[in-house]
Amino acid sequence: MTTNMKRAQELIFGNLGASNFKMFPGSNREVTAEMIAKEVAKVVDELGAGELVEIDLAD
């Protein structure tokens, strides 16, 4: 398992013991599962550090 994928799995599932974790690019064929996992890990880290600001999209 690649480093970003493993990191994303640990951040999302913690100690649940998930062993079959996959990320799919959706409609963008140029995005790899590794790229998605990297972004997931980045956002989870930013959330934990309080670096993100909540916005209200509903009008």
Angle at 33 between CA 35 and CA 15, to 5 degrees: 100
- In what helix (H) or strand (E) does residue 37 lie, and over which residues does it extend? helix 33-48
**What are the residue ranges spanned by the domains of the chain?**
3-15+26-48
Taking only the tens place, the pLDDT of each residue in 28-58 is: 778 887 888 888 888 888 888 888 777 788 7
The mean per-residue pLDDT over the stretch 16-23 comes to: 71
In this predicted structure, the answer to whether residue 17 has a pLDDT above a threshold of 60 is yes
